[in-house]
Amino acid sequence: MSAKTLLPALARHQSPALLALCLLAIVALASLTGSDTVQVTVAEMMIRVIVVVGLYVFIGNSGIISFGHIGFMCVGAYAAAWATAQPTFKQIMLSGLPVFLQEAEYPFLVAVAGSFALPALVALILGAAIMRLSGTACSIATFAFLVIVNSVYSNWDSVTAGVSSIIGIPTVVGPWIGFAFALLAIAVAHLFQISRFGLMLRASRDDEVAARASAVDVLKVRLAAFVLSAALVGMGGGLYAQFLGILTVDPFYLNLSFITLAMLVVGGMFSLTGAVCGVVAVTAIVEVLRFLERGGLGVALPQGSQELGLGVLMALILVFRPKGLTGGRELRIPRRWPQLGFRRKRLEQRPQEG
């Protein structure tokens, strides 16, 4: 590839590349500290990056808020647990599982693939039904889905162990594996948003009437984003199960739904950079507040100041940056990173592909 074609290509993909470098720096620094607590925090942060980037694929591009994606995370987490938990446990506690799952213990990547595929399938069926709804109605329908998933998974004892936990899932996910899959999620989200489908979906977000008049099949592009987004969030769930080692239904409900949505909104919901920044910023705030709560500066803050502080800081961020940390400029420029002057010039001069 000559420099002439390489530079525009670099410029075109610079934002996911830069995001990857930032995350790499975080993971590398965490490894250098050698502290287990930091490792755990960073691993969990990487999983959240996957989940929030997955959320962004649908919410950011379609402009429709979904309250139900943590349901897909739950579906993905259980899919991974079914694949990797010990057969002896599965035969006793999960007797409703099909035999091929009961009797075998599948490798990590198979489990991840399952946690990607099963939520995608569920999203395809659900999405075919609800994507024709308009904005708010669609959001509430996704919330209904979250409630349904929660009820089913809490009560289907023979398959999910109900309210007790699935134990013995190999805990193979650490910061580096989390990072690798976060990269994958970012790359997928980026490729989707610059693709034909992504562009058509964002056009329908800006103006549905004009998009349909330009022959954009809004239902189809929305459904595609919904399925892809559910798959990424589900993958995040699958990794989460293999990070925790023990799985219950409880974490996949309102708390996690709202914190992940808050991360997206704080970062800026209409940009991929926003999705990633939101996770990093909110995680950092939470960790600092936890540190202070434990008495890190000599005086311990009272219990609960972490939640309170997070709420106040998020409110402040949104008061001063209503479009999120990445701001309005990012919102308008599809290349999601502030560009250096010379790069932008090159971009504008380059002969365009159709």
Partner 1 sequence: MKPLLEIDQIHVRYGDMTALRGVSITVAESEVVCVIGPNGAGKSTTLAAVAGGVKPFRGEVRLNGTAITGRAPERIAALGVSLVPEGRHIFGSLTVDENLAIGGYMRNDKAGVAADRARLLDLLPRLAERLHYPAGRLSGGEQQMLAIARAVMTRPRLLLVDEPSLGLAPKIVDQIYEILLDLRRRDGLTLLINEQSSNRILNHADRIHVLRAGVIQLEGRAEDLRDGDAIRHAYFGFGHQAPAAPAALEAAP
Can residue 347 be called a binding residue for partner 1 (CB under 8 A)?
yes
Residue 30 · residue 179 · CB < 8 Å: no
- Write out 85-148 in H/E/C secondary structure: CCHHHHHHHCCCCCHHHHCCCCCHHHHHHHHHHHHHHHHHHHHHHHCCCCHHHHHHHHHHHHHH
Cα-based angle 22, 80, 284 (whole degrees, multiple of 5): 30
CA distances for 214 relative to 13, 64, 332, 354, angstroms:
27, 21, 21, 16
Q: Segment near partner 1 (CB under 8 A), from 73-81, 86-94, 134-142, 343-351?
A: 343-351
For residue 86, the minimal CB distance to partner 1 (Å) is 50
Given the complex with partner 1, which of 78 and 270 has the nearer CB atom? 270
For residue 220, the minimal CB distance to partner 1 (Å) is 9
Find the DSSP H helices in the chain: 3-12, 14-33, 36-62, 69-84, 87-93, 99-102, 108-130, 135-155, 157-160, 175-194, 196-206, 208-213, 218-244, 254-267, 272-293, 305-320, 327-332, 341-349
Nearest C-alpha neighbor of 242 from the set 103, 93, 46? 46
Q: Which amino acid is at 184?
A: L
Can residue 270 be called a binding residue for partner 1 (CB under 8 A)?
yes
For residue 233, the minimal CB distance to partner 1 (Å) is 24
For residue 93, the minimal CB distance to partner 1 (Å) is 49
For residue 18, the minimal CB distance to partner 1 (Å) is 19
Can residue 103 be called a binding residue for partner 1 (CB under 8 A)?
no
Can residue 110 be called a binding residue for partner 1 (CB under 8 A)?
no
Cα-based angle 115, 200, 329 (whole degrees, multiple of 5): 95
Can residue 207 be called a binding residue for partner 1 (CB under 8 A)?
yes
Given the complex with partner 1, which of 18 and 347 has the nearer CB atom? 347
Considering CB under 8 A, how many residues would be counted as binding partner 1? Answer: 28
Site string for partner 1, 166-205 (x = CB under 8 A): ------------------------------x--xx-xx-x
Can residue 209 be called a binding residue for partner 1 (CB under 8 A)?
yes
For residue 267, the minimal CB distance to partner 1 (Å) is 17
Q: Segment near partner 1 (CB under 8 A), from 23-31, 71-79, 112-120, 346-354?
A: 346-354
For residue 353, the minimal CB distance to partner 1 (Å) is 8
Q: What is the spatial distance between Cα 237 and Cα 29, in angstroms, rounded to a whole number? A: 25
Cα dihedral 102, 164, 145, 218 in deg (nearest 10): -50
Residue of 206, 297, 298, 341 interacting with partner 1 (CB under 8 A): 206
Q: Which of residues 298-337 bind partner 1 (CB under 8 A)?
A: 331-334
For residue 321, the minimal CB distance to partner 1 (Å) is 17
Can residue 215 be called a binding residue for partner 1 (CB under 8 A)?
yes
The sign of the CA dihedral 246, 247, 251, 257 is positive
Which residues make up the interface to partner 1 (CB under 8 A)?
196, 199-200, 202-203, 205-207, 209-218, 270, 331-334, 344, 347-348, 352, 354
